[in-house]
Amino acid sequence: MRGDTPFIAGDWGTSNLRLWLCGADGTVLDRAEGPGVAAVPGRVDAAFLDVTAAWRAAHGPLPALFCGMVGSTIGWVEAAYHPCPAHVGSLASGLTRFTAAGADMAIIPGLSTRNPQGAPDVMRGEETQILGALARRPDLGSGRRLLCLPGTHAKWALLQEGSVVTFQTGFSGELFALLRGHSVLGRGTEGMQPQTGPAFIRGVQRSLTGAPLPHLLFETRSRQLLEGLSPQDALSFLSGLVIGADMAGGVAMAGGDLDGPVTLVASPALTDAYAAALAVAGHAAVGLDGGELALAGLLAVRAATLS
């Protein structure tokens, strides 16, 4: 990728495509959105050319740099996972490159690791958000830091001097959505949102007893039947159980001796919930808005390819 022309930065996940048209210096000139890769199977390339037609008509061939599921087996071109440790330089060196519409395309690889529990683990897209966090918060690049990116599949990443040393995934967002939407535990909670008050805190505390989650989950029901727990409080309790278990796993992965608070990269509602859960276990946390961190990470990788 040359440093003297406009280019496209793209965060292309399973469900959404976000594109930024950037000047040579990284200034955002325009934005566009499009379908996630899962919505355009077998025609990912056509979808990209369609969304960027006007930009290319105005500027000619535009190189592009992507992150996310666009590099998976259901994406455009597969970008093999980069094993940890990984930093901005190693990811910039490990780009998967190809040509489309007369321009250079590149995809940032996802990360793989064998996590501290001895299991394989993967991320794809979050590595670029982590690079964005490092770009926006340079203090995270020194010492031993724990970042959490809550969501459908929460990613807990351990950083040492700006490198992702290892990470671990919690199946927590999808699990909670299943339980509240499809199980007896979520009955009567339609339209409600979990709160971080006493019922949530109690759920976190219960999760920290170490009792297996299948047994703790049923408490959501039995406390309604025997203790008059309201559906709203049951929903918050359930959220506390799931987020508490996720948090316990993430903190255990980091293994102590952390510098600074845990950094939470998420929407304010999720940041509040994870910060409340971490507080129960005695850990401080700070939030970092995940909004355009992917763009910041994409720009950091581009800068690394030029240096």
- 245-274 binders of its own copies (CB under 8 A): 245-246, 248-250, 252-253
- Of 190, 227, 256, 282, which one interacts with its own copies (CB under 8 A)? 227
What six digits make up the tokens of 223? 């406390």
Q: Which residue type, as a one-letter code, is found at position 63?
A: P
- Of 128, 129, 166, 172, which one interacts with its own copies (CB under 8 A)? 172
Task: Give the binding range for its own copies (CB under 8 A) out of 28-36, 91-99, 244-252, 262-270.
Answer: 244-252
Q: Before 212, cis peptide (omega within 30)?
A: no
- Of 30, 50, 174, 259, which one interacts with its own copies (CB under 8 A)? 174
Toward its own copies, which CB reaches closer, 217 or 276? Answer: 217
Cβ atoms of residues 147 and 134 within 8 Å: no
What six digits make up the tokens of 179? 């339980």
Whole-angstrom distance, CA of residue 283 vs CA of residue 260: 10
Shortest reach from residue 194's CB to its own copies, in Å: 16
Toward its own copies, which CB reaches closer, 83 or 102? Answer: 83
- Of 93, 215, 255, 284, which one interacts with its own copies (CB under 8 A)? 215
b/e map 234-248, b = 16+ CB within 10 Å: bbbbbbbbbbbbbbb
Q: Does 56 bind its own copies (CB under 8 A)?
A: no
Q: Does 153 bind its own copies (CB under 8 A)?
A: yes
Helices (H), 38-182: 44-51, 53-59, 88-93, 126-136, 172-182
Give the angle subtended at the CA of 66 by the CAs of 60 and 68, to the nearest 5°: 150
Which chain residues interact with its own copies by CB under 8 A?
A: 81, 112, 117, 119-122, 153-154, 168-172, 174-175, 178-179, 182-185, 206-207, 209-219, 221-223, 225-227, 242, 245-246, 248-250, 252-253
